[in-house]
Structure formats: structure tokens, C-alpha cells
Amino acid sequence: MDSENKEKTVEEIRKILDMQEEILQFSHFTNEDAIALGNYMLQEAVKKELSISISIRRCNGAVIYQAMRDGTNLDNISWMNRKFNTVLRTEVSSLSWFMRLKQNDQTMADKFMDENIYACVGGGFPIRVEDAGVVGVILVSGMNHVQDHDFIVKTLGKYLHINEVPRISRSDVR
């Protein structure tokens, strides 16, 4: 097996996820920024014909932007609510939390996280403002959870005009 096709370790994936969160920060984030970002993400979903739901929320739970494409339903809202709770509690992406538990051979129950309230899957990403911390959460639901996460990372990188954002693929996460 050549090194390009070598499967990534949990530790390597965690490092990539940490880098994504470090790179994809905002200098400021207003409600108008949330609406512009949400509209940009929706345009990307339309271009790619993705049946996804998108939500951008403040840490206080206020939904600043939300859109549901055809083919999505109340289940997507439920998933986004649970992903929001996970990011809010852990202050890392929900995929990063998934990988942390995996790396430590732990479950949500080990962390006293009820699976009816929290989701241990990708698709939730913290909105971090430099020198201020996490101020909100970007949420996507509708694809495989790694694809949900990657859609956020890819569109957020383009929105912030950051060309070099390391990414992982669905095949990296098992």
C-alpha cells in the first residue's frame, strides 16, 4: 500500500480536525455574517444538488439562519439540535468529539452525555472568534456525518478565502 492511500490513524485525523478549527476562525461574527455565510452555504448546496439542512446558531441557542432543502425533514432538525448541544458543551466540532471518544475507547455514556440530547457524529462546527472563543455553531445534516463535516469545512474555507485547509475523507473515519 503506498503512502498516499494509507489509512489515517485516529491521532492523525484528530490533528487535522484541530488544525481545521484553528484555521477557520473569524475576526468578528455578527448576525449579518451568519446570514451571509448561511446563504453562501445554501448556494453551494444548490449547486451540488445536496439535500441538506443548514443552521447557524448563537451559543445562547438563537437560530440566526436556517434552511432546509427539499428531501430533508424534521429528523434533520433533530440531528442538528443534538449536534448543536455537543459542540456547545465540548467547544470542538462534533466530529472531533467523535474522534476523541474513539481514541480513548469511550462512549457518550462514559461522559454522561445522553444520546437523546447529544450527537456523537460530524456536522457541527464551532464558530470561533479570534481572542473571544466560541460564539456559535454551524450545523449541517443530510449526508453521511463525515460528509456533513467536510461540507462545512470546505464551504467555510471558501467563504473565508482560506485556500489551504486540511481535510479528511469519509474513508478516513471508521
pLDDT per residue as tens digits for the range 120-130: 999 999 999 99
Q: List, for residues 54-66, the tens digit of each pLDDT value.
A: 999 999 999 999 9
User: What is the CATH number that goes with domain 8-169?
Assistant: 3.30.450.150
Q: List, for residues 66-109, the tens digit of each pLDDT value.
A: 999 999 999 999 999 999 999 999 999 999 999 999 999 999 99
Is 7 a residue whose pLDDT tops 70? no
Model confidence pTM above 0.85: yes
What residue spans of the chain are helical by DSSP H? 10-23, 31-47, 74-90, 94-103, 145-159
Q: Would you list the domain boundaries of the chain?
A: 8-169
* HSE toward the beta carbon, residue 1, CA cutoff 13 A: 6
